[in-house]
Amino acid sequence: MVFLLAFWRLLCLVVMGLVVWQLAMPRHRPQPMPRSLRVFGRLLLLTFGLCALLQGIWAVYPGLSPGFRANLGRDRRVYRLQGLTDRRPVADRWGEPLIENELRDGEVVRRHVHGAATAHVLGYHHVRFGQTGVEAAYNDTLFTARRPAWGTLGALGQPGNPLAEPLRLTIDWRLQEVAAEALGDRAGAVVVVEPATGDVLVLVSAPSFDPNDLDRERFAQLSADDRRPLLNRALAGLYPPASTYKAVTAAAALAAGWGPGTTVDVPPGGFIPPGETQPIRDYEASRSTRWAGHGELDMRSALALSANGYFAALGLELGAAELNQASRAFGLTDSWSLTPYEFGADTLRAKAGSGPREKDSAGITARDAIGQGRVLATPLHMALVMACIANDGVLVPPHVGLGEPPRLTRQVLAEGRARQLAELLRAPVEDPRGTARALRIAGLSLAAKTGSAENTAGAAHGWLVGFAPVEAPRLAWAVLVEHGGTGSGSALPIARQVLLAAQDAGWFASDDPEPTL
């Protein structure tokens, strides 16, 4: 539309210029024109052409400039032109209201029904603080006054007015509520996606804030808070993925020809990369001076025990280039947007993570292979890794708008390799020694991986990622708890509560109904 408008303006100016030129041309052979007059005429024509060109550039540039689009949400004039009375409500996939318009003291108020529980995914639309989240990313869809006048007027007063129908999101409020309550006020995030469709069912970040309670004083407090409640950790929090990254290392190994039976000796002293003296040891080794090591381990046992020595050695055998390629294939270095719309997409876009560097030392590469080197990822990225493995190796881009046309998918792993890896990831749950054995739920097959991301700012960050059911996956998830210690101690109980809620809601039933638009 922007380009058509620019072309129309340019065409009108050109036509006007030609008309002026024709009117100025004499009907008979003129006397020789003075040189000064000819020069003046050419300058006048050049000025006219430059004006036409600048008109076209000005019409096109705002739509092309990321900086212009990013700052447009802070322009109060834009807000005033988009009155709350013109904004559609928002609902979850089942029609549960998420944002409603209410009349208070003669004024329309945009009310977030569930407050802080959905603050980071829905965002806010405020005269002083601009727009974020769904309110910004889907602004053109929510702002009904931009629709053609005859369509708007024709729909007024009609039953089932489509302009009053809510924007439906892929979010499942039942799971969102449980995840938000389970995480509480601990810093962290919970992301749940549907592997086959890319539907984002849960997007929780904590600590959070109440969009219904935003004024100058409150916003200043939130902005100055050291815990950063305005930060969407699910999309903008970059963390070492720790042992959850071993699923990527295992995928790279399977693709390179290694099999589940590949064995590595894990001695009590740990694995020492070439050229280094500092060993890479397991979590148990750091808690006991008498740790006996694991001995010979195959891939299944190494995943069950989360053996650092196994995957550090395997990562060095693969090499940094293979690990880097696997990270890129799984989308860890991509900046995923949850909306197909260009304008406002940055408000629902995950920061790009980072993978191993090909020219790093052996020690760094070995630590990259266990998620403790240079690798960084958001909770959304790790949920997508699990979703890809669950979906026979096909990575489906995530989105939050229900019923949106699918975007291009990516075949990351061959179907057979993905199923092989999915079976291996059952071990952390089903093995009696598995680090995720406490996740077991009767009647539900689970694949999962725990992680404890070491950091210099305090206790380790706790991770738990996975998918279920293994045979026909419906949900994939990632749970992160900042400074939570072990993943099994902090993230696992949260994931278990969400899975129990999903089981009660019928997500794992074969005849689960799909939402209708």
Which run of H or E residues covers position 59?
A: helix 35-64
pLDDT digits (tens, 9 = 90+) for 268-297: 888 888 888 888 888 666 665 667 778 899
Question: Letter for the amino acid at 132?
Answer: T
Low-confidence ranges of the chain (pLDDT < 70): 1-33, 35, 37-42, 52, 55-86, 106, 144-164, 283-290, 342-346, 510-517
- How many angstroms separate the CA atoms of 173 and 184, rounded? 16
Contacts of residues 405-412 at CB distance under 8 Å and 24 or more positions apart, as own/partner, are 405/340, 406/197, 406/198, 407/198, 407/340, 410/329, 410/331, 412/251, 412/329, 412/330, 412/388
Q: Torsions phi, psi of 393, nearest 5?
A: 85, 5
3-state secondary structure of 452: strand
* pTM, 2 dp: 0.81
Q: 263: which 2 tokens? A: 């064995």
3-state secondary structure of 475: strand
Which run of H or E residues covers position 108?
A: strand 107-112
Alpha carbon distances (Å) from 180 to 35, 122, 327: 79, 14, 29
- How many angstroms separate the CA atoms of 186 and 165, rounded? 35
Helices (H), 156-298: 173-183, 216-224, 233-236, 246-255, 283-287
CB-CB contact of 2 with 59 (8 Å) = yes
- Beta-carbon contacts of 218 under 8 Å, excluding residues fewer than 6 positions away, are none
- How many angstroms separate the CA atoms of 184 and 380, rounded? 19
Closest CA to 121 of 398, 492, 395, 493: 398
pLDDT recorded at residue 279? 86
pLDDT recorded at residue 101? 85
- How many angstroms separate the CA atoms of 116 and 110, rounded? 14
pLDDT digits (tens, 9 = 90+) for 294-325: 889 999 999 999 999 999 999 999 999 999 99
- How many angstroms separate the CA atoms of 121 and 350, rounded? 12
- How many angstroms separate the CA atoms of 442 and 89, rounded? 39
- Beta-carbon contacts of 182 under 8 Å, excluding residues fewer than 6 positions away, are 190, 493, 494, 497, 498
* Cα angle 56-57-61, degrees, rounded to a multiple of 5: 125
Q: Return the beta strands (E) in 274-430 as ranges.
A: 295-297, 394-395, 410-411
